[in-house]
């Protein structure tokens, strides 16, 4: 695990807290972030950001990706500027095609959307197909006596990461904490505790600018599974200025 001196949570907040009256473009935000030293001293990250209307209406250049390896604004990556495009982004640098979860994520997502369109399904049916993709577990199981640092290499295989370390958590009687958290000051070390996919999110936008956001929480604060659907939250709203 590589940790930076500054929180990566500052990066998406910088975009979300941008003044809407300034009408800052994705390019201008990247320039501000990179030139104002916003990506240095931060652990490895890739931020995919932008405006839904730039994708749906095909205005400007779609979405953008900025990372801690973005040298300058000229190195900004753009995607989703044309219809029927499917991209996957994981912990690897964008464009790294060596991760099976990235290759499979693109393939399975595209197939799910195509099947839904062909069968003229409802939004809810498409949602279930996409959640099924996010729930696909192809994670090789840890071998006996396999070191954790070595086992971490297997994370690149599976879109869904099952709860790893939950049994150990119960055996050690460790304090409750969310899956995926680094339990500093509580755990024995930085990688002790429970790790896995904690939330699944699907965002859909129609051509009229209506946003549909679904968030599924899979584990409670004690790292115990939540019954399917009971950890769901959904929000629907109209995007301003559409």
Per-residue model confidence as pLDDT tens digits over 46-65: 889 999 988 888 777 789 99
pLDDT tens digits along 166-202 = 555 454 444 454 454 443 344 444 455 678 899 999 9
pLDDT tens digits in sequence order for the chain, 242 residues long? 344 456 777 888 889 998 888 888 888 998 888 777 666 667 778 889 999 988 888 777 789 998 877 766 777 888 988 888 999 998 888 888 999 999 999 999 999 999 999 999 999 999 999 999 999 999 998 888 888 778 888 999 999 998 877 555 454 444 454 454 443 344 444 455 678 899 999 999 999 999 999 999 998 877 788 998 899 999 999 998 88
Secondary-structure breakdown of the chain: helix, strand, coil percentages, each rounded to the nearest 5 = 30, 15, 50
User: Could you tell me the sign of the dihedral formed by the alpha carbons of 141, 143, 145, 151, in that order?
Assistant: negative
Handedness of CA 162, 164, 168, 169 (dihedral sign): negative
Any idea which residue has 């599924």 for tokens?
Answer: 216
Strands (E), the chain: 46-49, 63-67, 77-79, 199-205, 210-217, 232-238
pTM attached to this predicted model: 0.82
Alpha carbon distance 26, 74 (integer Å): 12
Q: Are the C-beta atoms of 236 and 210 separated by less than 8 Å?
A: yes
Tell me the CB-side half-sphere exposure of residue 202, using CA atoms within 13 A.
Answer: 22
Residue 38: the pLDDT is 64
How far apart are alpha carbons 35 and 55 in whole angstroms?
A: 26
How many of the other CB atoms lie within 10 Å of CB of 224?
Answer: 13
């Amino acid at each position: 695990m590589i940790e930076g001196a500054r929180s990566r949570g500052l990066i998406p907040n910088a975009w979300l807290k941008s003044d809407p009256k300034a009408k800052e473009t994705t390019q201008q935000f990247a320039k501000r972030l990179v030139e104002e030293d916003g990506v240095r001293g931060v652990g490895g990250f890739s931020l995919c950001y932008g405006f839904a209307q730039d994708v749906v209406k095909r205005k400007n250049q779609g979405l953008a990706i900025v990372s801690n390896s973005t040298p300058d604004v000229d190195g900004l990556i753009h995607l989703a500027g044309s219809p029927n495009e499917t991209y996957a982004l994981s912990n690897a640098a964008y464009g790294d095609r060596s991760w099976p979860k990235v290759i499979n994520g693109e393939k399975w997502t595209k197939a799910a959307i195509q099947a839904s369109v062909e069968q003229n399904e409802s939004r809810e049916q498409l949602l279930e197909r996409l959640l099924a993709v996010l729930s696909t577990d192809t994670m090789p199981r840890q071998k006996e006596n396999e070191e954790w640092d070595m086992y971490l290499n297997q994370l690149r295989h599976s879109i869904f990461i099952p709860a790893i370390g939950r049994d150990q958590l119960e055996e050690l009687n460790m304090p409750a904490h969310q899956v995926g958290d680094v339990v500093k000051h509580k755990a024995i070390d930085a990688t002790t505790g429970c790790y896995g996919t904690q939330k699944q999110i699907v965002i859909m936008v129609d051509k009229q600018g209506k946003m549909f956001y679904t968030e599924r929480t899979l584990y409670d604060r004690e790292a115990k599974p939540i019954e399917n659907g009971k950890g769901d939250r959904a929000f629907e709203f109209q995007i301003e200025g559409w």
